[in-house]
Amino acid sequence: MKKIINTPGAPKAIGPYSQAVEARDMLFISGQIPIDPATGKFVEGGITEQTEQVMKNIGAILLEAGLGFNNVVKSTCLLSDMDNFAAMNAVYGKYYPTDPPARAAYAVVKLPLGALVEIETIAVR
């Protein structure tokens, strides 16, 4: 059985998907892009600001599910340019100061709405 997780603290889905789905003790968070849920628009700035907003969006979804960043076991980071990896990594690392999750990072040709970064996450209870 699955449970849909939805919060106004993260951007509404821009397609036919849920912000997150909980199945048994696992939470699957859809890829988050740097949309500020209060305005519905991208945050201003570059990769640092965009990564910070993405992590805030993930945090809001985790909180809605009763979890935290310490519950995250896997992340997939998608970047529009690998030259942004170090800056993304600096922000990302602040959210996982100890025992970080497994992770993959890829450069892709394009991300939704021209985002510089998108991150999807899996967490467990």
Q: Tens place of pLDDT for every residue, the chain, 125 residues?
A: 899 999 999 999 888 999 999 999 999 999 999 999 999 999 999 999 999 999 999 999 999 999 999 999 999 999 999 999 999 999 999 999 999 999 999 999 999 999 999 999 999 99
Q: How many helices (H) and strands (E) does the chain have?
A: 2, 8
The CA distance from 29 to 123, in Å, is 8
Residues with Cβ within 8 Å of residue 117, at least 6 apart in sequence: 33, 34, 47, 50, 51, 54, 77, 78, 79, 80, 84, 88, 111
* Residue ranges per structural domain of the chain: 2-124
> Which CATH architecture is the domain 2-124 placed in?
2-Layer Sandwich (3.30)
